[in-house]
Amino acid sequence: MRIEDVVFYSEGSRISASWRTPDQSDGPLRAIVQGPGWLGLKDAKLYVRYHEALTAAGFAVLIFDYRGFGDSEGEKKLSPAVQLQDLRNAVTYLTTRDDVDHDRIGVFGSGGTGGGNAVLLAAVDDRVRAAVSQLPVANGRDWLHRMRSEYEWLDFLKGLDEDRRERVATGKGRLVHPREEIMVPTPERRATTVKADVDSRIPTAVSLAAADEILEYDPLAAARTLTTPLMVIGIEGDATTPTDHAVAIYEAAKGPRSLVMQRHTTHYAAYDKYWETVTPAIVRWFDTHLSNGDVVITTQDGPAESVTYLEGQ
């Protein structure tokens, strides 16, 4: 896999990206765009295995840091709306490249809002012809609620309301740690080293106003309008991104769809446990649905193409 540092601009901010291509290739390439998952960065080691498999199959991959994160310019603002803008601008960047087949662009998103953002992009941008959403958040309000006991949830909502009042009165609000005070990490998240290479480089203080956007975050609503082929990957009994979020997105999608459900594992353990099975499935999905840019097939009722359960040993 060849790796080249590239840049593009999103709403005036310089975006740092990594362009990953096969060692050898002829003609314009099918391309996959990826925005990182929740608090992720483009150079996370976790993503490399997927990109190596995709480039080995003849795809190019563009992964980038969202505005304000990693090496990209911009305000350090945790904003799903900004992230979606960045994803759409990344697709536009791909259409400026002569080495990309502009009719065969897909999106891959992994981990929380990473998975949800893939659904949102596919729903609003018809240049995206296939999508894979791994461990997605379907509804931000439900996601944040289920991390907390009921009294903690009510206190959280009260704190948000107080912060809104403070912002309109003074122009400033609270800064909070996004992984500790917006998301509530599970014991597994505190113990895992899966993302250790990027954990020390994420913002540790963002505006609490970010939580207001996440409360309105709704990939499930987008899925109800989606005719783009969609693969959803979930984990049975997932304590970080609830299993029923993945299932709900899958069931709501209107086009060709596939659900891969990993069993007898956990959110972070699954990345290592099943990657040798899940990764080829991702490649096959894109290979099938990005095979011919001259013919686009959609369906009204979206019959399930497959439901796959992966069993632990």
Contacts of 246 (CB under 8 A, 6+ apart): 115, 133, 135, 136, 138, 232, 233, 234, 235, 238, 259, 261
The predicted model scores a pTM of 0.92
How high is the pLDDT of residue 38? 83
Go through the domains of the chain in sequence order and give each one's CATH number. Answer: 2-139+217-310 (3.40.50.1820)
- Tell me, what's the pLDDT at 295? 66
Residue 197 confidence (pLDDT): 72
> Which residue from 286, 306, 302, 307 is spatially nearest to 128, judged by alpha carbons?
286
The size of the chain, in residues, is 313
Cβ atoms of 48 and 123 closer than 8 Å? no
**pLDDT above 90 coverage of the chain, percent:** 75
Q: Which stretches does DSSP call E strand in 11-81? A: 13-21, 29-34, 59-64
Please tell me the predicted confidence (pLDDT) of residue 54: 98
In this prediction, residue 313 has a pLDDT band, given cuts at 50, 70 and 90, of very low
Pick the closest to residue 222 from 128, 123, 302 (CA basis). Answer: 123
Largest CA distance in the chain: 59
Of the listed ranges 166-170, 197-201, 221-225, the least confidently predicted one is 197-201
> Average per-residue pLDDT in the chain?
91
